[in-house]
Amino acid sequence: MDHILIRGGRRLAGRVPISGAKNAALTLMPCALLTDEPLTLRNLPRLADVDGFGHLLNQLGASTAIEGTRPEDFGRVMTIRAGRLTSTEAPYDIVRKMRASILVLGPVLARAGEATVSLPGGCAIGNRPIDLHLRALEAIGAELEMAAGYVKAVAPGGRLSGGRYRFPIVSVGATENVVMAAVLAKGASVIDNAAREPEIVDLCRCLVAMGASIDGIGTETLTIEGRDRLHGATYAVMPDRIEAGSYACAAAITGGSLDLVGANGVDMRATLDALIEAGVTVEERKGGVTITADAPLKPLTLSTAPFPGFATDMQAQFMAMLCKADGASVLTETIFENRYMHVPELARMGADIQVSGRTAIVRGVDRLVGAPVMATDLRASMSLILAGLVADGETKVARVYHLDRGYERLEEKLQAVGADIERASDG
Protein backbone atom coordinates (compact mmCIF):
# COMPACT_ATOMS: atom_id res chain seq x y z
CA MET A 1 0.00 0.00 0.00
CA ASP A 2 1.27 3.48 -0.84
CA HIS A 3 2.10 6.26 1.59
CA ILE A 4 3.21 9.86 1.19
CA LEU A 5 6.37 11.32 2.71
CA ILE A 6 6.64 15.05 3.36
CA ARG A 7 9.63 16.97 4.65
CA GLY A 8 8.20 20.25 5.84
CA GLY A 9 9.44 23.80 6.09
CA ARG A 10 9.33 24.97 2.48
CA ARG A 11 7.44 28.04 1.34
CA LEU A 12 5.20 27.23 -1.61
CA ALA A 13 5.14 29.52 -4.64
CA GLY A 14 4.03 29.13 -8.23
CA ARG A 15 1.06 27.98 -10.32
CA VAL A 16 -1.32 25.15 -9.46
CA PRO A 17 -3.76 24.05 -12.19
CA ILE A 18 -7.16 23.31 -10.67
CA SER A 19 -8.78 20.12 -11.92
CA GLY A 20 -12.38 19.43 -12.77
CA ALA A 21 -14.55 19.04 -9.69
CA LYS A 22 -14.84 15.53 -8.29
CA ASN A 23 -18.26 16.20 -6.79
CA ALA A 24 -19.55 17.62 -10.08
CA ALA A 25 -18.05 14.85 -12.21
CA LEU A 26 -19.73 12.12 -10.16
CA THR A 27 -23.05 13.91 -10.64
CA LEU A 28 -22.66 14.54 -14.37
CA MET A 29 -21.58 11.01 -15.30
CA PRO A 30 -24.97 9.39 -14.44
CA CYS A 31 -26.71 11.93 -16.69
CA ALA A 32 -25.55 9.72 -19.56
CA LEU A 33 -28.03 7.09 -18.38
CA LEU A 34 -30.91 9.42 -19.29
CA THR A 35 -30.35 9.22 -23.05
CA ASP A 36 -29.46 6.71 -25.74
CA GLU A 37 -27.15 9.30 -27.33
CA PRO A 38 -23.54 9.93 -26.25
CA LEU A 39 -22.66 12.38 -23.48
CA THR A 40 -19.13 13.76 -23.70
CA LEU A 41 -17.65 15.26 -20.54
CA ARG A 42 -14.57 17.48 -20.74
CA ASN A 43 -12.21 18.47 -17.92
CA LEU A 44 -12.93 15.20 -16.12
CA PRO A 45 -10.44 14.70 -13.26
CA ARG A 46 -8.20 11.61 -13.07
CA LEU A 47 -9.47 10.17 -9.80
CA ALA A 48 -10.16 6.75 -8.32
CA ASP A 49 -13.80 7.70 -7.74
CA VAL A 50 -14.25 8.72 -11.38
CA ASP A 51 -12.80 5.39 -12.51
CA GLY A 52 -15.03 3.56 -10.03
CA PHE A 53 -18.13 5.36 -11.29
CA GLY A 54 -17.13 4.46 -14.84
CA HIS A 55 -17.08 0.79 -13.83
CA LEU A 56 -20.56 1.17 -12.36
CA LEU A 57 -21.86 2.69 -15.62
CA ASN A 58 -20.29 -0.23 -17.51
CA GLN A 59 -22.14 -2.61 -15.20
CA LEU A 60 -25.42 -0.98 -16.26
CA GLY A 61 -24.63 -1.33 -19.96
CA ALA A 62 -23.01 2.01 -20.79
CA SER A 63 -19.70 2.20 -22.62
CA THR A 64 -17.02 4.68 -21.55
CA ALA A 65 -14.28 5.90 -23.87
CA ILE A 66 -11.38 8.11 -22.78
CA GLU A 67 -9.79 10.61 -25.16
CA GLY A 68 -6.81 12.91 -24.70
CA THR A 69 -4.75 10.70 -22.40
CA ARG A 70 -1.44 12.51 -22.87
CA PRO A 71 0.59 12.36 -19.61
CA GLU A 72 0.89 16.14 -19.48
CA ASP A 73 -2.88 16.61 -19.50
CA PHE A 74 -4.63 16.97 -16.17
CA GLY A 75 -8.22 16.79 -17.36
CA ARG A 76 -9.64 13.99 -19.48
CA VAL A 77 -12.39 13.76 -22.06
CA MET A 78 -14.81 10.88 -21.58
CA THR A 79 -17.65 9.89 -23.88
CA ILE A 80 -20.36 7.78 -22.28
CA ARG A 81 -22.87 5.89 -24.43
CA ALA A 82 -25.88 4.22 -22.84
CA GLY A 83 -27.67 3.17 -26.02
CA ARG A 84 -29.39 0.38 -24.13
CA LEU A 85 -29.36 -0.37 -20.42
CA THR A 86 -28.47 -4.05 -20.01
CA SER A 87 -29.01 -3.99 -16.25
CA THR A 88 -31.01 -1.88 -13.82
CA GLU A 89 -29.13 -3.10 -10.75
CA ALA A 90 -26.16 -1.39 -9.11
CA PRO A 91 -24.53 -4.18 -7.09
CA TYR A 92 -23.09 -4.05 -3.58
CA ASP A 93 -19.51 -4.86 -4.66
CA ILE A 94 -19.30 -1.57 -6.58
CA VAL A 95 -21.64 0.68 -4.60
CA ARG A 96 -20.08 -0.09 -1.20
CA LYS A 97 -16.85 1.61 -2.25
CA MET A 98 -18.39 4.95 -3.16
CA ARG A 99 -21.40 6.76 -1.76
CA ALA A 100 -21.98 8.69 -4.98
CA SER A 101 -23.15 5.43 -6.58
CA ILE A 102 -26.62 6.11 -5.18
CA LEU A 103 -26.87 8.78 -7.90
CA VAL A 104 -27.68 6.14 -10.52
CA LEU A 105 -31.00 5.42 -8.76
CA GLY A 106 -32.87 8.44 -10.16
CA PRO A 107 -31.70 8.28 -13.78
CA VAL A 108 -32.03 4.48 -14.14
CA LEU A 109 -35.53 4.65 -12.65
CA ALA A 110 -36.50 7.49 -14.99
CA ARG A 111 -35.07 5.79 -18.07
CA ALA A 112 -36.00 2.14 -17.48
CA GLY A 113 -38.98 2.45 -15.16
CA GLU A 114 -37.25 0.49 -12.42
CA ALA A 115 -33.95 0.45 -10.54
CA THR A 116 -32.33 -1.65 -7.82
CA VAL A 117 -29.40 -0.07 -5.99
CA SER A 118 -27.37 -1.29 -3.04
CA LEU A 119 -27.15 0.97 -0.02
CA PRO A 120 -24.02 3.10 -0.50
CA GLY A 121 -20.61 3.30 1.16
CA GLY A 122 -17.94 6.04 0.98
CA CYS A 123 -16.08 7.99 3.66
CA ALA A 124 -16.94 7.10 7.26
CA ILE A 125 -17.65 10.67 8.34
CA GLY A 126 -21.00 10.14 9.97
CA ASN A 127 -24.54 8.97 9.40
CA ARG A 128 -25.65 9.89 5.89
CA PRO A 129 -28.98 8.12 5.32
CA ILE A 130 -30.66 8.09 1.93
CA ASP A 131 -34.18 8.61 3.28
CA LEU A 132 -34.38 12.06 1.67
CA HIS A 133 -33.52 10.56 -1.72
CA LEU A 134 -36.32 8.04 -1.30
CA ARG A 135 -38.95 10.49 -0.04
CA ALA A 136 -38.25 12.86 -2.93
CA LEU A 137 -38.51 10.06 -5.50
CA GLU A 138 -41.77 8.87 -3.93
CA ALA A 139 -43.14 12.39 -4.23
CA ILE A 140 -42.66 12.31 -8.01
CA GLY A 141 -44.28 8.91 -8.44
CA ALA A 142 -41.83 6.16 -7.45
CA GLU A 143 -42.89 3.07 -5.51
CA LEU A 144 -40.11 1.82 -3.22
CA GLU A 145 -39.17 -1.13 -1.12
CA MET A 146 -36.00 -2.02 0.78
CA ALA A 147 -34.76 -5.55 1.32
CA ALA A 148 -31.42 -7.26 2.00
CA GLY A 149 -29.47 -4.02 1.77
CA TYR A 150 -30.96 -2.93 -1.54
CA VAL A 151 -33.44 -0.26 -2.61
CA LYS A 152 -35.85 -1.30 -5.36
CA ALA A 153 -37.72 1.52 -7.08
CA VAL A 154 -40.48 1.17 -9.65
CA ALA A 155 -42.29 3.77 -11.75
CA PRO A 156 -45.90 2.51 -12.18
CA GLY A 157 -46.69 2.24 -15.86
CA GLY A 158 -43.01 2.57 -16.67
CA ARG A 159 -42.74 6.31 -16.15
CA LEU A 160 -42.64 8.70 -13.20
CA SER A 161 -45.58 11.06 -12.86
CA GLY A 162 -43.89 14.19 -11.51
CA GLY A 163 -44.96 15.96 -8.33
CA ARG A 164 -43.86 18.37 -5.62
CA TYR A 165 -41.45 17.84 -2.74
CA ARG A 166 -39.99 20.12 -0.11
CA PHE A 167 -36.81 18.94 1.56
CA PRO A 168 -37.03 19.24 5.36
CA ILE A 169 -33.28 19.88 5.38
CA VAL A 170 -30.96 20.72 2.50
CA SER A 171 -29.47 17.62 0.85
CA VAL A 172 -27.09 17.89 -2.09
CA GLY A 173 -27.20 14.23 -3.14
CA ALA A 174 -30.97 13.91 -2.79
CA THR A 175 -31.49 17.10 -4.82
CA GLU A 176 -29.27 15.68 -7.56
CA ASN A 177 -31.09 12.35 -7.62
CA VAL A 178 -34.60 13.75 -7.81
CA VAL A 179 -33.66 16.34 -10.45
CA MET A 180 -32.20 13.63 -12.70
CA ALA A 181 -35.33 11.52 -12.22
CA ALA A 182 -37.76 14.38 -12.80
CA VAL A 183 -36.41 15.44 -16.20
CA LEU A 184 -38.03 12.36 -17.84
CA ALA A 185 -41.27 12.38 -15.82
CA LYS A 186 -44.67 12.65 -17.55
CA GLY A 187 -45.57 15.87 -15.78
CA ALA A 188 -44.00 18.79 -13.96
CA SER A 189 -42.04 18.57 -10.71
CA VAL A 190 -41.32 21.31 -8.18
CA ILE A 191 -38.46 20.82 -5.74
CA ASP A 192 -38.47 23.22 -2.78
CA ASN A 193 -35.58 23.86 -0.38
CA ALA A 194 -33.30 22.39 -3.01
CA ALA A 195 -29.53 22.50 -2.49
CA ARG A 196 -27.88 25.45 -4.25
CA GLU A 197 -24.29 24.21 -4.39
CA PRO A 198 -22.35 25.07 -7.57
CA GLU A 199 -22.30 21.35 -8.37
CA ILE A 200 -26.13 21.40 -8.48
CA VAL A 201 -25.99 24.33 -10.88
CA ASP A 202 -23.46 22.42 -13.01
CA LEU A 203 -25.78 19.40 -13.10
CA CYS A 204 -28.79 21.47 -14.13
CA ARG A 205 -26.83 23.22 -16.88
CA CYS A 206 -25.66 19.88 -18.25
CA LEU A 207 -29.22 18.53 -18.23
CA VAL A 208 -30.47 21.65 -20.01
CA ALA A 209 -27.74 21.12 -22.63
CA MET A 210 -29.24 17.64 -23.07
CA GLY A 211 -32.72 19.08 -23.65
CA ALA A 212 -34.18 19.18 -20.14
CA SER A 213 -36.48 22.01 -18.99
CA ILE A 214 -35.40 23.38 -15.59
CA ASP A 215 -36.31 26.78 -14.15
CA GLY A 216 -34.88 28.36 -11.00
CA ILE A 217 -31.33 27.08 -11.45
CA GLY A 218 -29.21 28.33 -8.56
CA THR A 219 -32.22 29.01 -6.32
CA GLU A 220 -33.92 26.91 -3.65
CA THR A 221 -36.94 26.17 -5.88
CA LEU A 222 -36.45 24.13 -9.05
CA THR A 223 -39.33 23.67 -11.51
CA ILE A 224 -38.83 20.82 -13.96
CA GLU A 225 -41.05 20.09 -16.95
CA GLY A 226 -40.63 16.42 -17.82
CA ARG A 227 -39.52 15.53 -21.34
CA ASP A 228 -40.20 12.40 -23.37
CA ARG A 229 -36.49 12.05 -24.08
CA LEU A 230 -33.16 13.81 -23.77
CA HIS A 231 -30.38 13.97 -26.35
CA GLY A 232 -26.62 13.81 -26.15
CA ALA A 233 -24.35 16.77 -25.43
CA THR A 234 -20.78 17.88 -24.80
CA TYR A 235 -20.20 19.55 -21.45
CA ALA A 236 -17.18 20.74 -19.43
CA VAL A 237 -16.96 19.85 -15.73
CA MET A 238 -16.65 22.90 -13.46
CA PRO A 239 -13.35 23.56 -11.63
CA ASP A 240 -13.02 21.93 -8.22
CA ARG A 241 -13.71 24.56 -5.57
CA ILE A 242 -12.65 22.19 -2.77
CA GLU A 243 -9.34 21.36 -4.41
CA ALA A 244 -8.76 25.08 -5.00
CA GLY A 245 -9.59 25.83 -1.38
CA SER A 246 -7.22 23.12 -0.22
CA TYR A 247 -4.29 24.60 -2.17
CA ALA A 248 -5.27 28.04 -0.90
CA CYS A 249 -4.79 26.66 2.62
CA ALA A 250 -1.42 25.25 1.51
CA ALA A 251 -0.32 28.73 0.47
CA ALA A 252 -1.59 30.19 3.74
CA ILE A 253 -0.03 27.65 6.10
CA THR A 254 3.39 27.84 4.41
CA GLY A 255 3.42 31.62 4.13
CA GLY A 256 3.51 31.20 0.38
CA SER A 257 1.90 32.52 -2.79
CA LEU A 258 0.00 30.28 -5.18
CA ASP A 259 -1.77 31.11 -8.43
CA LEU A 260 -4.76 28.76 -8.58
CA VAL A 261 -5.20 28.52 -12.33
CA GLY A 262 -8.81 27.96 -13.37
CA ALA A 263 -10.31 28.46 -9.91
CA ASN A 264 -13.67 30.24 -9.81
CA GLY A 265 -13.83 32.72 -6.93
CA VAL A 266 -17.62 32.97 -7.11
CA ASP A 267 -18.03 29.26 -6.34
CA MET A 268 -15.69 29.42 -3.33
CA ARG A 269 -16.75 32.75 -1.84
CA ALA A 270 -17.11 31.52 1.76
CA THR A 271 -13.64 29.95 1.64
CA LEU A 272 -12.06 33.11 0.25
CA ASP A 273 -13.86 35.31 2.77
CA ALA A 274 -12.54 33.15 5.61
CA LEU A 275 -9.00 33.35 4.24
CA ILE A 276 -9.23 37.13 4.02
CA GLU A 277 -10.47 37.23 7.62
CA ALA A 278 -7.42 35.15 8.58
CA GLY A 279 -5.15 37.82 7.09
CA VAL A 280 -4.46 36.18 3.74
CA THR A 281 -4.38 38.26 0.56
CA VAL A 282 -6.79 37.07 -2.13
CA GLU A 283 -6.66 38.38 -5.69
CA GLU A 284 -9.45 37.27 -8.01
CA ARG A 285 -9.28 37.62 -11.76
CA LYS A 286 -10.65 35.99 -14.86
CA GLY A 287 -9.15 32.53 -15.09
CA GLY A 288 -7.98 32.08 -11.53
CA VAL A 289 -7.34 33.21 -7.99
CA THR A 290 -4.01 34.14 -6.38
CA ILE A 291 -3.47 33.44 -2.68
CA THR A 292 -0.62 35.17 -0.82
CA ALA A 293 0.21 34.85 2.88
CA ASP A 294 2.78 37.42 4.01
CA ALA A 295 1.67 37.98 7.62
CA PRO A 296 0.89 35.79 10.67
CA LEU A 297 -2.44 33.99 10.38
CA LYS A 298 -5.29 35.30 12.51
CA PRO A 299 -7.66 32.97 14.40
CA LEU A 300 -11.18 32.40 13.10
CA THR A 301 -14.63 31.40 14.27
CA LEU A 302 -16.28 29.26 11.60
CA SER A 303 -19.38 27.11 11.32
CA THR A 304 -20.05 24.79 8.39
CA ALA A 305 -23.30 25.26 6.49
CA PRO A 306 -24.91 24.39 3.15
CA PHE A 307 -23.93 26.62 0.23
CA PRO A 308 -23.45 29.57 0.21
CA GLY A 309 -22.13 28.94 3.72
CA PHE A 310 -18.71 27.59 4.68
CA ALA A 311 -18.35 24.10 3.16
CA THR A 312 -18.01 21.07 5.41
CA ASP A 313 -15.50 19.75 2.88
CA MET A 314 -13.15 22.62 3.83
CA GLN A 315 -13.37 22.19 7.60
CA ALA A 316 -10.45 19.77 8.01
CA GLN A 317 -8.11 21.85 5.82
CA PHE A 318 -8.89 25.04 7.74
CA MET A 319 -8.34 23.21 11.01
CA ALA A 320 -4.83 22.27 9.92
CA MET A 321 -4.14 25.80 8.71
CA LEU A 322 -5.38 27.33 11.96
CA CYS A 323 -2.94 25.17 13.93
CA LYS A 324 -0.42 27.86 12.89
CA ALA A 325 -2.65 30.86 13.63
CA ASP A 326 -1.76 33.40 16.30
CA GLY A 327 -4.50 32.60 18.84
CA ALA A 328 -7.49 30.29 19.40
CA SER A 329 -9.99 29.44 16.67
CA VAL A 330 -13.43 27.88 17.07
CA LEU A 331 -14.80 25.50 14.43
CA THR A 332 -18.31 24.08 14.54
CA GLU A 333 -19.32 21.18 12.30
CA THR A 334 -23.07 21.25 11.60
CA ILE A 335 -23.31 18.89 8.62
CA PHE A 336 -21.73 15.59 9.73
CA GLU A 337 -21.47 14.44 13.31
CA ASN A 338 -18.26 12.42 12.93
CA ARG A 339 -15.99 14.68 10.95
CA TYR A 340 -13.23 15.29 13.51
CA MET A 341 -11.41 11.98 13.06
CA HIS A 342 -8.33 13.87 11.89
CA VAL A 343 -7.95 15.59 15.27
CA PRO A 344 -6.00 12.75 16.99
CA GLU A 345 -3.68 12.53 13.98
CA LEU A 346 -3.00 16.29 14.03
CA ALA A 347 -2.39 16.02 17.77
CA ARG A 348 0.36 13.46 17.05
CA MET A 349 2.08 16.27 15.16
CA GLY A 350 1.83 18.70 18.07
CA ALA A 351 -1.50 20.39 17.35
CA ASP A 352 -3.48 21.75 20.31
CA ILE A 353 -7.12 20.91 19.58
CA GLN A 354 -9.96 20.27 22.00
CA VAL A 355 -13.26 18.80 20.78
CA SER A 356 -16.57 19.08 22.59
CA GLY A 357 -19.48 17.64 20.64
CA ARG A 358 -19.59 19.37 17.27
CA THR A 359 -17.23 22.19 18.28
CA ALA A 360 -13.43 22.18 18.12
CA ILE A 361 -11.15 24.77 19.69
CA VAL A 362 -7.86 25.06 17.82
CA ARG A 363 -5.05 26.89 19.60
CA GLY A 364 -2.21 27.93 17.35
CA VAL A 365 1.21 26.45 18.15
CA ASP A 366 4.72 27.65 17.38
CA ARG A 367 5.70 24.44 15.62
CA LEU A 368 4.32 21.17 14.34
CA VAL A 369 6.50 18.06 14.29
CA GLY A 370 6.58 15.39 11.61
CA ALA A 371 5.15 12.00 12.61
CA PRO A 372 3.60 8.86 11.14
CA VAL A 373 -0.12 9.58 10.70
CA MET A 374 -3.06 7.80 9.16
CA ALA A 375 -5.67 9.25 6.81
CA THR A 376 -9.23 8.52 7.92
CA ASP A 377 -11.22 10.08 5.07
CA LEU A 378 -10.71 12.21 1.98
CA ARG A 379 -10.61 15.72 3.43
CA ALA A 380 -8.92 14.56 6.65
CA SER A 381 -6.13 13.23 4.44
CA MET A 382 -5.55 16.69 3.00
CA SER A 383 -5.42 18.22 6.47
CA LEU A 384 -2.50 15.92 7.31
CA ILE A 385 -0.72 16.86 4.08
CA LEU A 386 -1.10 20.54 4.97
CA ALA A 387 0.26 19.99 8.48
CA GLY A 388 3.17 18.03 7.03
CA LEU A 389 4.10 20.91 4.74
CA VAL A 390 5.07 23.06 7.76
CA ALA A 391 6.09 20.36 10.27
CA ASP A 392 9.68 19.98 11.38
CA GLY A 393 11.14 16.73 10.08
CA GLU A 394 9.37 14.04 8.10
CA THR A 395 5.66 13.20 8.04
CA LYS A 396 4.46 9.85 6.74
CA VAL A 397 0.80 9.78 5.70
CA ALA A 398 -0.61 6.26 5.40
CA ARG A 399 -3.82 5.06 3.71
CA VAL A 400 -3.48 7.61 0.91
CA TYR A 401 -6.07 5.83 -1.20
CA HIS A 402 -8.44 8.32 0.42
CA LEU A 403 -6.50 11.16 -1.24
CA ASP A 404 -6.61 9.43 -4.60
CA ARG A 405 -10.40 9.59 -4.46
CA GLY A 406 -10.42 13.40 -4.57
CA TYR A 407 -7.07 15.01 -5.47
CA GLU A 408 -5.63 14.62 -8.94
CA ARG A 409 -1.83 14.24 -9.04
CA LEU A 410 -1.42 15.78 -5.59
CA GLU A 411 2.31 15.13 -5.24
CA GLU A 412 3.10 16.43 -8.73
CA LYS A 413 1.20 19.66 -8.17
CA LEU A 414 2.85 20.29 -4.79
CA GLN A 415 6.32 19.35 -6.04
CA ALA A 416 5.93 21.88 -8.85
CA VAL A 417 5.47 24.72 -6.34
CA GLY A 418 8.34 23.78 -4.05
CA ALA A 419 7.09 21.09 -1.66
CA ASP A 420 9.39 18.24 -0.63
CA ILE A 421 6.85 15.45 -1.07
CA GLU A 422 6.88 12.00 -2.62
CA ARG A 423 4.84 8.84 -2.86
CA ALA A 424 6.38 5.54 -1.82
CA SER A 425 5.23 1.96 -1.42
CA ASP A 426 5.17 0.06 1.85
CA GLY A 427 6.16 -3.01 -0.09
The residue among 202, 236, 270 that closes a domain is: 236
**Looking at 155-208, which runs of residues are DSSP E strands?**
164-166, 188-192
**Within this chain, do residues 334 and 420 fall inside the same structural domain, yes or no?**
yes
**Within this chain, do residues 199 and 245 fall inside the same structural domain, yes or no?**
no
Selecting among 123, 204, 206, 249, the annotated active-site residue is 123
**Within this chain, do residues 82 and 211 fall inside the same structural domain, yes or no?**
yes
284-332 per-position pLDDT tens digit: 999 999 999 999 999 999 999 999 999 999 999 999 999 999 999 999 9
- Identity of residue 243: E
**Within this chain, do residues 225 and 362 fall inside the same structural domain, yes or no?**
no
229-241 per-position pLDDT tens digit: 999 999 999 999 9
Rounded Cα distance between 218 and 204, Å, is: 9
Q: Check the annotation: does 186 bind a ligand.
A: no
Rg (CA), the chain: 21
Q: Check the annotation: does 423 bind a ligand.
A: no
**Looking at 250-327, which runs of residues are DSSP E strands?**
257-261, 281-285, 288-292, 301-303
- pLDDT, residue 98, reads 78
Give Cβ neighbours of residue 237 (< 8 Å, ≥ 6 apart): 20, 21, 24, 25, 28, 41, 42, 43, 44, 45, 75, 202
Confidence of residue 421 (pLDDT cuts 50, 70, 90): very high
List Cα–Cα distances, 251 to 32, 138, 139, 414, in angstroms: 37, 46, 46, 10
Domain containing 285 — which CATH number? 3.65.10.10
**Within this chain, do residues 230 and 255 fall inside the same structural domain, yes or no?**
no
SS3 state at 121: coil
pTM of the model: 0.94
**Within this chain, do residues 259 and 226 fall inside the same structural domain, yes or no?**
no
Q: Check the annotation: does 191 bind a ligand.
A: no
Q: Check the annotation: does 193 bind a ligand.
A: no
**Within this chain, do residues 49 and 115 fall inside the same structural domain, yes or no?**
yes
Average pLDDT over residues 399-417: 93
102-121 per-position pLDDT tens digit: 999 999 999 999 999 988 65
Percent of the chain with pLDDT strictly greater than 70: 95
**Within this chain, do residues 313 and 417 fall inside the same structural domain, yes or no?**
yes
Domain of 56 in residue numbering reads as 22-236
The residue among 220, 236, 252 that closes a domain is: 236
**Within this chain, do residues 405 and 260 fall inside the same structural domain, yes or no?**
yes
Structural domains counted in the chain: 2
Residue 123 annotated in active site: yes
Q: Check the annotation: does 335 bind a ligand.
A: yes
**Within this chain, do residues 73 and 95 fall inside the same structural domain, yes or no?**
yes
**Within this chain, do residues 6 and 26 fall inside the same structural domain, yes or no?**
no
Rounded Cα distance between 143 and 153, Å, is: 6
Mean pLDDT across the chain? 93
